[in-house]
Structure 1
Amino acid sequence: MNAEALSTRAGELPREPGVYQFREGETTIYVGKAVDIRDRVRSYADPRSARIRRMVDRADGLEVAVTDTETQALLLEANLIKRHQPRYNVRLKDDKSYPMVQLTDHPAPRIEITRDPDESATVFGPYTEMGRVETVVKALRETYGIRGCSDHKYSGRERPCLDHDLGLCTAPCTREIELEDYREDVSLVERFLEGETGILADPIEREMEVASQEQNFERAANLRDRLEAVEAFHGEGGEAVQSVGDERAVDILGVAIEGESGTVARLRAEDGKLIDRERHRLSAPDGPGGVSELLAAFLVQYYAERELPDAILLPEEHGDDEVGAWLEAEGVSVRVPGAGREAKLVELALKNARKNVGGRDACGMLADALGLDSAARIEGFDVSHAHGASAVGSNVAFEDGSPDKSGYRRKKLTDANDDYANMKTLLEWRATRAVEGRDDRPDPDLLLIDGGEGQLSAAREAISEAGWEVPVVALAKAEERVISADRSHSWPSDAAHLHLLQRVRDEAHRFAVQYHRTVRDDVSTVLDDVPGVGPETRKRLLGRFGSVENVREASREDLTSVSGIGERTAETIRSRL
């Protein structure tokens, strides 16, 4: 894209906060944020660095999205970087997307918190504090009765579920409320999410006053806390939040850069004592722009998903006005100390960062041993069943040697007493979702299969058929041998990189067995072993009550109302459960 074409395109853009994406064909290669989209995009006609100049030269398209606030632009930019992994952005390797609230496209819309919204849904956000979002969504459900159940659970119900009894849903599924009235309540929820705070704050305040007058002070206090969360919801990142008292929690950051990647070391001090140390890798193809750029990327991608400290100490200014405004609004003191104890802490963080860049940890040793560019992100797979029954698969993720539980997934499999076929099905599912862009997780550097050559062969066949190019190895438990496509590795039993694979393998096994027991106990043992309850009767029971737990709580009269359940069978079910 030449300078003239870019300047012409910029002149057509709005002068509002938002996000812009440079695209090469169908691929997003750079994402940026701006207080004024037109001015920011116009500046790319005269790029400020060689990396950005190369990006502009490659781009052949530009897309923009307007946001209500600068903070929303900041967070949307991070979400898009997470989703598209643009080549020319600095990217935190273990970053996460930010929560949004969506109302689904359905005759009776569902409200839910999501990091991967449906294309057809009405979406609000992104937001920085998951706890605050959860509090507000629960308050919306209690006030307006908007359902949170899946469409599968919604359809075919004969009576309301437990959410109705708890006051969280007005049960449009069984027409306890007419759809027209339900949609009016949904419209009120939309108005709140669009910025009308009083839609939710006013009824909570009235309820709080009633609780106080009735001297129900615990209830009044809970409502007060909820009201504070609701009133702060739309000011998230936009209203000043003053820190109270002395600084109790302080994070100290150090940065080291080598080639196309960098390391940020984070030290945590609480009450004046160091309590935690960790390191995070960031990548920037074609080379990072410098310490300030890495710091700005790390600050928003790391802290927007976590509880903020009272203060953050940096080795130099991060240089991003939007990030600075957000942290200031959240009451975080950001300092670059020049001398004294704080400066010594920053120097310690810098030493930690340089140590990670210059040395090889277990992930680096594993990459070297297998001839890989990186082994920072590993996904492990295992299957579990009982002689072919209740077959399930697990998919766990490790980032820089530690479990990334947000990346854990599990899947029910077609019952088959064939470990190879089950493993192939599990890997087909993972690979197909990755290739089709339906998995919101980044592609791993390495796949680890719990098993031997047979399971490895099945897994390799599955990912090859899907066209997913990710290295895969297996770890056979009997001899603790690592098996790759062309050889078997026998590493020393005390090798750090072998221990890393063993941790991934053991966690995949644990997660698979845990899920298998849940499926087996809930579906097979509890209902199938009840005399008089066959597959069709079980299906009617679950369709009528929604879950085994609800069957357990049902009265004899409720049970006998289900076709095929007589007095004797009802009594048997109650006694067995």
Structure 2
Amino acid sequence: MTSPDVPIKTGHEVIQAYLKTIDGSPGVYRMLDSESRVLYVGKARNLRARVSSYARPTGHTGRIMRMIANTASMMFLTTRTETEALLLEQNLIKQLKPKFNVLLRDDKSFPNILVTADHDYPQIKKHRGAKKEKGAYYGPFASAGAVNRTLNQLQRVFLLRDCSNAMFESRTRPCLQHQIKRCSAPCVGKISASDYTQTVRDAEKFLAGKNADIQNRLATEMNTASEAMEFERAAALRDRIKALTQVQTAQGINPKGVSEADIIALHLQDGQACVQVFFIRSGQNWGNHDYYPRVGADVDAAEVLEAFIGQFYDTREPPRQLILSNEIESPDLMADALSIKLGRKVELLVPQRGEKAELVDGALRNARESLARKMAETATQTKLLAGLAEAFDLETPPDRIEVYDNSHIQGAFAVGAMVVAGPEGMIKNQYRKFNIRGENLTPGDDFGMMKEVLTRRFKRLLKEDPERTSGTWPDLLLIDGGAGQVSAVASIMREYGVEDIPMVGVAKGVDRDAGKEEFHRVGKTVKALRHNDPVLYFVQRMRDEAHRFAIGTHRAKRAKTVGATPLDDVPGVGAGRKRALLAHFGSAKAVGRANLGDLKAVDGISDALAETIYAYFHEGS
């Protein structure tokens, strides 16, 4: 065991020693620092050859030299093929987030449109997550907004229902969607099953890019109706054709020669990167999304783009083509890995001319403009953080600000909320909600709620990262409230030994007007900022964001509780059987009053389960 007085060796000589223990197999290597933190994860066709390149003292970029200088040990894992090594490398990078790797930071899933297949009158709706429900899926779409716009347009054109099956079964008259001409009201027989089936087929053709077929058929039907003097039907068909034309116009550029592809363009500038991804499916543009992967000052485009592609498609299904702005380091290897994942051939193209090159140019222009905006916003944010440090006597500008707020109605449905801000603005994937659990709290006790939230927060931080090395510890706490809240939180911070973290309470001032906020700190006089101070606006925005998040969380909790029924607590009754019981009896109260024979008559309810339900509602009677 190494003595604590002997410094741990690092650098290329340490790496050199590993050459005796590895061979030329393909695999993945990890470089670790003196505290066993992973610095870098890489793949190699030949591990010995790759490691020997790091063992040389010269010929490296500044980033690689710093990485080598910090390396105290290495770990190796051999694979059968280099393709396996590539897949494992990207998986480990996402999992371990090493300091010197290119890292994709925004990894949310993308929504799809689902046309269900479990009902005689299929429903059309937005779907996110695993594709477990029966039906046809279309996507991905770049954002929830893109899906919602498309769904609105589809409802105008095809009049498909978007209500749940339970709602469909319970209708006795058309809903508002029918009144505003967004649904054909199959629930009350306003359209025949065969006609509804035809509109579903048309909607699926549209989502598959077969727009011309639909328009031609609708035009023929309109002319036939007009000749038969069915003018009301002809007018309805005319409106659908018009709506379909508007949908196609609103989609913007729809490439003629590209049916299914992701257009991926990278722009690098001053050590920062933006990757723009356009989703082309069924010959239609289904939106775009920008990403800002973490990169170093001296990485090249090939390394950044390869890392992005590997991590981006680690949890997503790739399309048939990736049309790229730059070559990547191992295009053949990446194509093989993605083809294995998809189960069919995936092509990687870097076009030089023609329509595909024009698509890349458009994506590249978007990436360039997006990065310029991002850098301008970051520069502004940096100034605001410096101003915040000056206003509240902080030693350095904070990298992580945590803002807390509570929401409740006279103590009911109480929740706490935490939002996070930093040099790049609001960090939404770090937001947290807290269901208030305190049984001894007086309803509406804001001080007690805030103490519970901060107690749970610091307990978790001390358990998960007592050394404060992960970057999840706050540099500044902003509390929505005045002297009382600050005193309550200060007592918690003293209890857990974290009173070195600066804390500011933000309270409404005279007449509770925005702009007259008062700032409370432990052991200091109440402070105010001048009315037009940018730092004041910055604090207001963060406080308002915390309030918005707290209110949204509270409403969601209240809606869930209000929508709950006694059936939720019956053993063996899941969502599907709950729907069946409500559809059969109309309400949970009616289920509770039903006799055993009636319960056994419900589709999907076995005799044993019917007895369980009956016993639950009649226990002790």
TM-score range, shorter chain: 0.5 to 0.7
Change (3 A) 1:276 1:442: farther
Shift of 1:365: 4.1
Indicate which of 60, 68, 92 corresponds to 1:56. Answer: 68
Change (3 A) 1:299 1:378: farther
Q: Which residue of 2 aligns with 1:120?
A: none
The alignment partner of 2:292 has SS state of strand
Indicate which of 8, 29, 35 corresponds to 2:17. Answer: 8
1:3–1:45: 8 Å Cα contact kept in structure 2?
Answer: yes
Q: Which residue of 2 aligns with 1:28?
A: 38
* 1:425 maps to 2:452: yes
For structure 1, list consecutive stretches of 5 or more residues without a partner in the other structure.
98-128, 136-244, 528-540, 572-577
The alignment partner of 1:427 has SS state of helix
Indicate which of 260, 274, 277 corresponds to 1:249. Answer: 260
1:456–1:473: 8 Å Cα contact kept in structure 2?
Answer: yes
User: Which amino acid in structure 1 is aligned with residue 406 of structure 2?
Assistant: V
The alignment partner of 1:301 has SS state of helix
Please list, as runs of the form range in 1=range in 2, the aligned pairs for 1:308-457 lying within 5 A after superposition: 308-320=318-330, 322-329=333-340, 330=342, 331-359=345-373, 365-371=380-386, 381-385=404-408, 387-388=410-411, 391-395=414-418, 410-415=434-439, 416-417=441-442, 418-434=445-461, 436-437=463-464, 443=472, 451-453=480-482, 455=485
Q: Deviations over 1:490-527 (max 9, x none)?
A: 6699x8996686455413321233225546876xx969
TM (norm. structure 1) is 0.55
Please list, as runs of the form range in 1=range in 2, the aligned pairs for 1:553-564 lying within 5 A after superposition: 558=612
User: Which amino acid in structure 1 is aligned with residue 346 of structure 2?
Assistant: V
1:385–1:516: 8 Å Cα contact kept in structure 2?
Answer: no
User: Which amino acid in structure 2 is aligned with residue 313 of structure 1?
Assistant: I
The alignment partner of 2:33 has SS state of strand
The alignment partner of 1:5 has SS state of helix
Q: Which residue of 2 aligns with 1:174?
A: none
Q: Deviations over 1:174-217 (max 9, x none)?
A: xxxxxxxxxxxxxxxxxxxxxxxxxxxxxxxxxxxxxxxxxxxx
In 1, the alpha carbon distance for the partners of 2:475 and 2:287 equals: 28
* 1:514 maps to 2:556: yes
In 1, the alpha carbon distance for the partners of 2:283 and 2:573 equals: 52
1:374–1:445: 8 Å Cα contact kept in structure 2?
Answer: no
User: Which amino acid in structure 2 is aligned with residue 506 of structure 1?
Assistant: R
Q: Which has the larger radius of gyration?
A: 2
User: Which amino acid in structure 2 is aligned with residue 314 of structure 1?
Assistant: L
In 1, the alpha carbon distance for the partners of 2:307 and 2:291 equals: 12
2:404–2:480: 8 Å Cα contact kept in structure 1?
Answer: no
The alignment partner of 1:283 has SS state of coil
The alignment partner of 1:282 has SS state of coil
Indicate which of 285, 308, 315 corresponds to 1:305. Answer: 315
In 2, the alpha carbon distance for the partners of 1:546 and 1:361 equals: 54
1:90–1:297: 8 Å Cα contact kept in structure 2?
Answer: yes
Q: Deviations over 1:74-118 (max 9, x none)?
A: 344334434443221222222479xxxxxxxxxxxxxxxxxxxxx
In 2, the alpha carbon distance for the partners of 1:509 and 1:499 equals: 15
User: Which amino acid in structure 2 is aligned with residue 262 of structure 1?
Assistant: A
Change (3 A) 1:63 1:313: same
1:20–1:37: 8 Å Cα contact kept in structure 2?
Answer: no
Q: Which residue of 2 aligns with 1:74?
A: 86
Q: Deviations over 1:211-269 (max 9, x none)?
A: xxxxxxxxxxxxxxxxxxxxxxxxxxxxxxxxxx9742333233233334222223334
In 2, the alpha carbon distance for the partners of 1:292 and 1:93 equals: 18
In 1, the alpha carbon distance for the partners of 2:397 and 2:280 equals: 31
Please list, as runs of the form range in 1=range in 2, the aligned pairs for 1:450-489 lying within 5 A after superposition: 451-453=480-482, 455=485, 465=496, 479-480=513-514
Change (3 A) 1:266 1:520: same
1:366–1:375: 8 Å Cα contact kept in structure 2?
Answer: no
Q: Deviations over 1:34-82 (max 9, x none)?
A: 3444443333213642211211111112223455665554344334434
In 1, the alpha carbon distance for the partners of 2:359 and 2:474 equals: 33
2:14–2:72: 8 Å Cα contact kept in structure 1?
Answer: no
Shift of 1:299: 1.3
Shift of 1:317: 0.7
Shift of 1:289: 0.8
Change (3 A) 1:509 1:18: same
Shift of 1:284: 2.9
Q: Deviations over 1:119-157 (max 9, x none)?
A: xxxxxxxxxx9748x79xxxxxxxxxxxxxxxxxxxxxx
In 2, the alpha carbon distance for the partners of 1:425 and 1:377 equals: 21
In 2, the alpha carbon distance for the partners of 1:453 and 1:271 equals: 56
Q: Which residue of 2 aligns with 1:146?
A: none
In 1, the alpha carbon distance for the partners of 2:415 and 2:90 equals: 34
1:256–1:350: 8 Å Cα contact kept in structure 2?
Answer: yes
Q: Which residue of 2 aligns with 1:215?
A: none
2:479–2:503: 8 Å Cα contact kept in structure 1?
Answer: no
Shift of 1:7: 2.5
Q: Which residue of 2 aligns with 1:296?
A: 306
In 1, the alpha carbon distance for the partners of 2:47 and 2:402 equals: 39
Indicate which of 275, 280, 290 corresponds to 2:291. Answer: 280
The alignment partner of 2:293 has SS state of strand
Change (3 A) 1:292 1:247: same
In 2, the alpha carbon distance for the partners of 1:433 and 1:558 equals: 40
Change (3 A) 1:48 1:55: same
User: Which amino acid in structure 1 is aligned with residue 334 of structure 2?
Assistant: V
In 1, the alpha carbon distance for the partners of 2:318 and 2:276 equals: 16
Change (3 A) 1:398 1:25: closer
1:363–1:376: 8 Å Cα contact kept in structure 2?
Answer: no
User: Which amino acid in structure 2 is aligned with residue 263 of structure 1?
Assistant: C
1:380–1:397: 8 Å Cα contact kept in structure 2?
Answer: yes
The count of aligned residue pairs is 409
In 1, the alpha carbon distance for the partners of 2:414 and 2:267 equals: 46
In 1, the alpha carbon distance for the partners of 2:414 and 2:455 equals: 16
Q: Which residue of 1 aligns with 2:106?
A: 94
In 2, the alpha carbon distance for the partners of 1:25 and 1:317 equals: 36
In 1, the alpha carbon distance for the partners of 2:81 and 2:426 equals: 35
Q: Deviations over 1:327-383 (max 9, x none)?
A: 354433222121233323323323322223333566664453333899999876543
Change (3 A) 1:544 1:345: closer
Shift of 1:480: 4.9
1:17–1:35: 8 Å Cα contact kept in structure 2?
Answer: yes
Q: Which moved more, 1:441-450 or 1:3-12?
A: 441-450
In 1, the alpha carbon distance for the partners of 2:432 and 2:260 equals: 30
Change (3 A) 1:381 1:333: farther
Change (3 A) 1:499 1:90: same
User: Which amino acid in structure 2 is aligned with residue 339 of structure 1?
Assistant: R
Indicate which of 39, 48, 53 corresponds to 1:43. Answer: 53
1:251–1:266: 8 Å Cα contact kept in structure 2?
Answer: yes
The alignment partner of 1:309 has SS state of coil
